[in-house]
Amino acid sequence: MSNSDRFLNIYNELDQFMRVSLDEDSRTSHTQLIEKLAKKSNLFRFYKNDLKEFAELRNAIVHNTHFCNNRYGDVIAEPHDIVVEMYDELLEKINSPKLAKDIYRHLSDENVLIATTKTKIMNIIKAMHDKDFTCVPIIMNNKLIGVFSENVLLSLIAKKGICDFRKLIINDILEYIQIENHQGEYFEFCKVKDNIFDLKELFQKQMLNKKRLELIFVTGNGQRNEEILGVISAWDLVN
């Protein structure tokens, strides 16, 4: 199969996917479908420009043909292998986007630092320094109690003054670790089946009341009172 045939097959499959998703007939153009879905789907909004460029290439392939060996409709130019592969990969992302469950870091992972209400604050501070963590979820019975962070430490010092952290445990500062009490940062919860493009959108719109989105906690249905399955940071979405 030629590259142009492969490319057109991908285009037609994508076109059909969009028409079914929007319940649109042939009177709506391919580009209009992309625009409409970009208003409803973070995935399509993220790839809107790429999809429109591929659509333009499709039009060039279909509308620029010539006579050759007594056959009408042979394309003048074939798309390069890498172009077809990129389009095919994009279709795969649309058909089967990665979900939160595919990328989150389990609480038991080495690159996730957690603590309990009985953990000494000084031990947490040392671990944060040694492993370069900015946030430590406080977990009890797999539920989120709060988050200890650099901002919490600053708030603690600002309100209590210099104190002996060696004598304090998390249970002594429960008021400060409540996620709604954090200054300069906030946290979100997502469903295990939320797609990564919805999560990327959360980080792209992260400035909420001049606060930075620090972590997304993953649960079965995106509720705070559920078991915490894992966490997702902006770095987990880079790829």
- pLDDT, tens digit only, all 239 positions of the chain: 889 899 999 999 999 999 999 999 999 999 999 999 999 999 999 999 999 999 999 988 887 655 455 455 566 668 899 999 999 999 999 999 999 999 999 998 888 999 999 999 999 999 999 999 999 999 999 999 999 999 999 998 888 777 788 889 999 999 999 999 998 899 999 999 999 999 999 988 766 667 899 999 999 999 999 999 999 999 999 86
Q: Which long-range contacts (CB under 8 A, 24 or more apart) does 150-156 make?
A: 151/182, 151/183, 151/184, 151/185, 152/176, 152/177, 152/182, 153/125, 154/183, 155/181, 155/183
Domain encompassing residue 127: 102-237
Radius of gyration of the chain (CA): 25
Instruction: Identify the domain boundary among 71, 96, 121.
Output: 96
Same domain, 13 and 27: yes
Same domain, 110 and 224: yes
Residue 100, pLDDT score: 96
Same domain, 132 and 87: no
Q: Distance between CA atoms of 102 and 113, rounded to whole angstroms?
A: 20
Same domain, 141 and 204: yes
Q: CB of 219 within 8 A of CB of 228?
A: yes
Residue 1, pLDDT score: 84
Q: State whether the Cα torsion 195-108-128-174 is positive or negative.
A: positive
Instruction: Identify the domain boundary among 28, 61, 96.
Output: 96
Residue 223, pLDDT score: 95
Same domain, 173 and 85: no
DSSP letters, 100-141, are HHHHPEETTSTT---B-TTSBHHHHHHHHHHHT-SEEEEEET
How many structural domains is the chain composed of? 2
Q: CB of 147 within 8 A of CB of 155?
A: no
Same domain, 39 and 113: no
Same domain, 77 and 173: no
Instruction: Identify the domain boundary among 62, 96, 130.
Output: 96
Residue 151, pLDDT score: 92
Same domain, 89 and 145: no
Q: Token pair of 144, please?
A: 């989120």
b/e map of 196-226 (b: 16 or more CB within 10 Å)?
Answer: bbbbbbbbeeeeeeeeebbbbbbbeebeeeb
Q: Report the CATH number at residue 171.
A: 3.10.580.10
Counting every residue written for the chain, the total comes to 239
Same domain, 69 and 118: no
Residue 74, pLDDT score: 64
Same domain, 58 and 107: no
Which residue, chain included where needed, has tokens 């909420």? Answer: 208
Same domain, 10 and 123: no
Same domain, 90 and 118: no
Q: Token pair of 164, please?
A: 């002996």
